[in-house]
Structure 1
Amino acid sequence: MSLKSKIDRRNFLKTTGVGVIGFPFVVNGFTKMAASDKIRVAHIGTGNMGGSHIRWFSAFPDVETVALCDVDEVRLANARKVLVSSNSSANPELYSDFRRIIDRKDIDVVTCATPDHWHALVAISAFESGKDVYGEKPLSFSAQEGKVMLQSLKKYNRIFQLGTQIHASENYHRVAEIIQSGALGKIHTVRLWKKGGSPGLGFPPNETPPETLNWNMWLGPAPYTEYTPVRCHGSYRHFFDYSGGVFADFWCHIADIMYMSVHPQGLASIDARGDIPGDGIANTPKWIDVDFKFKDLDVYWTTTPPKVPGAEEMGIGAHFEGEKGTLTCDYNNRVISIGGETTNDISEISQTIPRSPGHQRNFLDAVKSRIQPESNLEYVREMTLPMHLALISFRLKRKLQWDCVKEEFVNDPAANFLLSREYRSPWSLPVY
């Protein structure tokens, strides 16, 4: 069947609502895919995480990988090898410009593993073209981008899952169950941490970009700067032009368990302290500590593990303090202390939270059912926002007051200015 015929058939089914076995059909205004249908996937960004996307999704029998995209020809060629090694019959189209994928009407899903400053534009473009998105973390480069992403998703009725794979783990689900059971009493304080921060990266000279890399396209909406390798693959997160350092990279992984367990509300103030490296051109935090004041909850982020039971063994972790006891956890472990006794579980607390079938499977099932997955955009946007606000406090070197209803800083034009940034021409963030 020709591509045009496939598109015409899909449009017919969407507009008429006719359900045919193996074809999409319409339920409550959403296009719903039958369980037997193949989900056609394209991957945008094919570096380390992009390679993982390719391996993960190509392993599912109901997925067909039809396209790969990267601004680096070497990475793109390697990505094709990765795909073919796991599926010898795969024959993906290769692109250097993600807009060619967006233009295709026969693609159902895109995954995005680009640098952070591209996350929003790729996702929004996909939503507008009727595609669902599995996007890498952090959700967005700026707070405003996250807001527009959510507006776009709702306008175009799309599905989104953030690549916080640890969200699907048994440990995170069990921690949330224990805390929500009330065994620790009311939680009044949460401490989050991640050891390490941005290295300085030295003072390398500018270079001519490799012929295999489209440096202008890699920069995209970010400010133009001359090429040097440390600004690009692998270490781009250590520059505020593209990301927010180790803090932005790992916030969502460990703040996630806080939001899963206690879902803090009413953020009122943010007070960040820290420093940038002094031995290189990197400018994101070498270390950062942040005090967050929510309604009825104090949250502290530190670069050094706090002095609480079990934390010394955890390079990243969360510590919950309740009226009756405490719980300290990382991705795989937990330490519970109640009444002077320490354990790693409370057998009397039954399973109350449904377990994930796997993070990627959860997303694919959502694509078919049109029911948002666990790490959906509305949830992760709320969970990501404090990270953006903390980096603004860090950059301005002062405590900030936040209006959580208006989603703006109180009487602070400078801080509000940093909620977004102007894109480099010809790129622009849509307004809905």
Structure 2
Amino acid sequence: MRSTRLSRRGFLKTSAAVTGAFAAPCIVPSRAFGANERIVLGHIGVGGQGTGNLNGFAGQKDVSVAAICDVDATRVAKAMKAAQGKGHMPVAFEDYRRLLERDDIDAVVVSTPDHWHALNTIDACAAGKDVFCEKPLTLTILEGRKMVNAAREHGRVVQTGSMQRSSKEFRTACELVRNGRIGKVHTVLVGINTPNHPGAPVPDSEPPAELDYEMWLGPAPERPYNKNRVHYNFRFFRDYSGGQMTNWGAHHLDIAQWGLGMDDSGPVKVEGAGTFHPQNWHEVTETCRVTHTYADGTKVLVGQGHKDIPNGTTFIGSEGKIHVNRGKLVVEPEEIAKQPLPDDAVRLYESNDHKRDFLDCIRSRRKPICDVEVGHRSATVCHLGNIAIDLGRPLTWNPETEEFADDDEANERRLTTYRSPWALKS
């Protein structure tokens, strides 16, 4: 077995990300897989969520885990042990670009903090790899469009990790809505979690020896190391994440988009307000209310920390309502769900295993249940809410051009500035 020790090079080179405006209408053929041939995976990011993804994929009979990459040597060691426990013998990398140079790797699983998703995914597509990228897909709106362009240009399968689409209760709820069982939908309630951050700030310090903090930051602004800003806690700082709005919105707003048939579109107006931690030591909302208005007048109301908006997604129509959350489906009146849908009913993509769906699509070359365009559109709805809260005014959004109307300040927030030498190329 090769050594699992990470190097401490920590050097940075200009990203090779290339997207381009060309968007191919289909996914190009990959190499032909034999019936018993394994799909070779590399895992980029093996923290808590990343190790969970590693275990999920490593347990599939047709998968070989060939490589693991992380900037924290402690996490690499744990992930290596987990992979070896399932019969895999991966090689460890500190720089994801070295992993992408491996010609034997068919696809990568991206489980890095949000501010890395675009670079990891775009570079992987350019290297000819299919991608399973964790949700939320992006840190900013225009990153998502560049990711879609890269996937289409290079003919890659890209699955977003919004895995609720692969659970029966969510598919059932959305099929009932799409087939008019609750009449015309006029309101959707989306309840998201409140922050579960550490309770108090801590002083800055030197990064631990096992962490290449410079590489952890990557394209994000240079900041002193603080243990409350890294690993799980990254999601409470806007350099790296959109908070629970994007963390949980990428689940529950994604279901709202699915039920409304908006996978290639989004709202046209947004307004919102939020409250923040009284000590102001982190940068995301503690509570919020956001209203998204769609072109047909449908309102999607997002609530964080408000009892009148329950966690999950609630569709309210002229003839009933449906509330859905993990392991829970409540239909009012109950008769709506008891009557089977007719043969000519709208049927949604059926997946019962999000990771299995990705692997099957690598072989078939069809788009997965939560294709990169879908993930981008759902993440965009989340970002719109944060931008409206930040600016404190109603905004008008064009989902076709992906621009705000007559608002330069809002449009500037569609993309962040990457720290040199990192760059997204279009």
Q: What do the CA deviations read for 1:290-348 (whole angstroms, capped 9, x no partner)?
A: 0111111111101145547xx4xxxx21111111111112122122113xxx4683243
* Aligned residue identity for 2:63: V
Which residue of 1 is the match for residue 140 of structure 2?
A: 142
Deviations 1:31-55 (A, max 9, x none): 2533332111010101111111111
Q: Summarize deviations over 1:4-60 as a string: whole Å, max 9, x none.
A: xxxxxxxxxxxxxxxxxxxxxxx9852253333211101010111111111111111
Q: Which residue of 2 aligns with 1:268?
A: 268
* 1:421 and 2:416 correspond: yes
Equivalent-residue separation in structure 2 for 1:344 and 1:113 (angstroms): 39
Is the Cα–Cα contact under 8 Å of residues 178 and 346 in structure 1 kept in the other structure? no
Aligned-partner Cα distance in 1 for 2:115–2:180: 40
Structure with bigger RCO (C-alpha 8 Å, 6+ apart) = 2
After the TM superposition, which residues 217-296 of structure 1 pair with which residues of structure 2 at under 5 Å, given as runs? 217-264=215-262, 265=265, 267-296=267-296
Using the TM superposition, name which of 274-283 and 105-114 deviates more. 274-283
Residue in 1 that maps onto 2:183: 185
Partner SS state of residue 136, structure 2: coil
Structure 2 partner of 1:37:
37
Residue by residue, what CA displacement relative to the aligned partner does 1:126-174 show, whole Å, maximum 9, x if unpaired?
Answer: 0000000011110011101001000111100000111122210010111
Q: Does 1:348 align with 2:320?
A: no
Residue 169, structure 1, aligned to residue 170, structure 2 = no
TM-score normalised by L of structure 1: 0.87
2:22 aligns to what?
Answer: none
The match for 2:374 is 379
What CA distance in whole angstroms lies between the structure 1 residues aligned with 2:210 and 2:374? 38
Q: Does 1:303 align with 2:298?
A: no
CA distance in 1, matches of 2:320, 2:268: 26
Q: Check conservation: 1:200, 1:279, Cα contact below 8 A.
A: no
Tell me the CA shift for residue 66 of structure 1. Answer: 0.4
Residue segments in structure 2 that go unaligned for 5+ positions in a row: 1-25
CA distance in 2: counterparts of 1:306 and 1:286, whole angstroms: 14
5+ residue gaps, structure 1: 1-26
Report SS of the residue matched to 1:387. helix
Report deviation, 1:201: 4.7
Question: Counterpart amino acid of 1:154?
Answer: R
Partner of 2:108: 110
Cα distance per residue 1:202-222 (max 9 Å; x no partner)? 331110001110000000000
Is the 2:188–2:313 contact (alpha carbons within 8 Å) kept by the matching residues of 1? Answer: yes
The amino acid across from 1:166 in the alignment is Q
Q: Which amino acid aligns with 1:31?
A: S
CA distance in 1, matches of 2:335, 2:371: 32
Give the counterpart letter for 1:329 in structure 2: V
Q: Does the aligned pair in 1 maintain the 2:46–2:68 contact within 8 Å?
A: yes
Compare 128-137 and 355-364 and name the one that shifted more.
Answer: 355-364
Query: How many residue pairs end up in the alignment?
Result: 394
**Structure 1 stretch displaced more, 322-331 or 347-356:** 347-356
* TM-score of the superposed pair, with normalisation by structure 2: 0.88
SS in 1 for 2:188: strand
Checking the alignment, whether the CA contact within 8 Å between 2:276 and 2:284 is kept in structure 1 is yes
Aligned to 1:86: 86
SS at match of 2:272: strand
Residue in structure 2 matched with residue 16 of structure 1 by the alignment: none
Coordinate RMSD, CA, aligned: 1.9
Say whether the 8 Å CA contact 2:257–2:266 is kept in structure 1: no
Going from structure 1 to structure 2, the CA distance change for 1:29 and 1:389 (only over 3 Å counts) comes to: closer
The one-letter code of the counterpart of 1:294 is Y
**Which of 317, 322, 327 is the matching residue for 1:332?**
327
Does structure 2 conserve the Cα–Cα contact (< 8 Å) formed by 1:198 and 1:245?
no
Q: Does 1:358 align with 2:358?
A: no
Q: Distance in 2 between matches of 1:307 and 1:394?
A: 20
**For residues 191-230 of structure 1, what are the structure 2 equivalents within 5 Å?**
191-197=189-195, 199=197, 201-230=199-228
| TM-superposed deviation, 1:374 | 0.3
State the AA in 2 paired with 1:327.
I
Amino acid at match of 2:162: T
Counterparts of 1:99 and 1:28, CA distance in 2: 23
Question: Structure 1: how far apart are the matches of 2:27 and 2:155?
Answer: 11
Q: In structure 2, do the counterparts of structure 1 residues 118 and 275 end up closer, same or farther at CA, with 3 Å as the change threshold?
A: same
Question: Relative to structure 2, which stretch is displaced further, 264-273 or 94-103?
Answer: 264-273
% of aligned pairs identical?
A: 31
Question: 1:379 Cα shift?
Answer: 1.4
Are the aligned partners of 1:191 and 1:306 in contact in 2 as well (CA < 8 Å)?
A: no
Does the CA contact (< 8 Å) of 2:144 and 2:376 recur in 1? yes
Residue 400 (structure 2) pairs with residue 402 (structure 1): no
For 2:56, give the aligned amino acid. Answer: W
- Answer whether contact 2:27 2:157 (CA < 8 A) is retained: no
- Paired position in structure 2 for 1:69: 69
Q: Which of 369-378 and 316-325 deviates more?
A: 316-325
The secondary structure found in structure 2 opposite 1:230 is coil
Call closer, same or farther: CA 1:196–1:152 in 2, change over 3 Å: same
User: Does the C-alpha gap of structure 1 residues 307 and 393 become closer, same or farther in structure 2, counting only changes over 3 Å?
Assistant: closer
2:120 is paired with a residue of what secondary structure?
A: helix
Cα displacement string for residues 239-258 of structure 1 (whole angstroms, at most 9, x for unaligned residues): 00100111110001111222
1:33 counterpart letter in structure 2: A
Deviation at 1:106, TM superposition (A): 1.3
Report the counterpart of residue 55 of structure 1 in structure 2: 55
